[in-house]
């Protein structure tokens, strides 16, 4: 097998010639000038994928098709090809409004008429407490780099400014 055949095999296996370059042809200083492929060892624990997902608190459990849809009656609702082959839970939350969930995450809602999925609230969004505000973000001496001396305090009701109109009117 010459270099061209090996390169084609790497492209076919990894899908990208750069992966082959960095793993098989270019030594790494951090690895004592060895190739990553020389040091790689597959995990002794086999990966069997996810267990069968069940949604006991949903009305239905539906498997996502290879093209990323769920078939709901005669409707086809587009989700994502990322979920192809996975089970999702579908629950009616209002009259003809359905919630679609994957594992513990709500993906979105669709109505029976349009069949379009509207996204649910992002489960990974930052939870910002509205009662707190940042008052000091300047670095403080003695703190390690990156901590930046962040200080927070509760927001309190602000007192209205004194009315100075009466003193101006008396002139």
**Separation of alpha carbons 109 and 126, rounded Å:** 21
**Separation of alpha carbons 100 and 136, rounded Å:** 42
Which ranges of the chain would DSSP assign to H, the alpha helix?
Answer: 3-14, 17-20, 36-39, 165-169
pLDDT of residue 73: 82
Phi-psi region of 118 (alpha: psi -120 to 50; beta: other; left: phi over 0): beta
Domain count for the chain? 2
Q: What is the largest CA-CA distance in the chain?
A: 101
Run of H or E including 100: strand 97-102
The low-confidence residues of the chain, meaning pLDDT below 50, are 134, 136, 145-152, 171
74 and 107 fall within a common domain = yes
pLDDT of residue 51: 84
23 and 67 fall within a common domain = no
**Separation of alpha carbons 122 and 99, rounded Å:** 14
Query: Rounded to 10 degrees, what is the CA torsion of 113, 116, 118, 123?
Result: 120
pLDDT of residue 124: 61
Residue 19 falls within a domain, yes or no? yes
Question: 36 with 27: CB under 8 angstroms?
Answer: no
67 and 112 fall within a common domain = yes
Residue 156 falls within a domain, yes or no? no
Domain that holds residue 28: 3-39
pLDDT of residue 141: 55
Structure tokens at 121: 């609230």
107 and 68 fall within a common domain = yes
Residues in the chain: 171
3-state secondary structure at position 156: coil
């Amino acid at each position: 097998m010459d270099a061209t055949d090996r390169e084609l095999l790497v492209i076919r296996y990894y899908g990208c010639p750069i992966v082959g370059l960095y793993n098989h042809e270019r030594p790494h200083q951090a690895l004592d000038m060895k190739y990553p492929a020389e040091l790689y060892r597959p995990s002794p624990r086999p990966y069997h994928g996810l267990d069968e997902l069940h949604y006991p608190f949903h009305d239905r459990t539906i498997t996502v098709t290879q093209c990323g849809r769920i078939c709901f009656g005669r409707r086809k609702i587009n989700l994502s090809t990322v979920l192809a082959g996975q089970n999702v839970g579908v629950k009616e939350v209002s009259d003809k409004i359905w919630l679609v969930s994957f594992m513990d995450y709500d993906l979105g809602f669709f109505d029976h008429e349009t069949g379009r999925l509207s996204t649910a609230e992002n489960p990974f969004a930052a939870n910002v407490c509205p009662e707190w505000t940042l008052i000091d973000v300047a670095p403080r001496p003695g703190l390690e780099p990156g901590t930046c001396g962040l200080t927070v305090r509760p927001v309190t009701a602000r007192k209205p400014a004194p009315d100075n109109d009466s003193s101006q009117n008396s002139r």
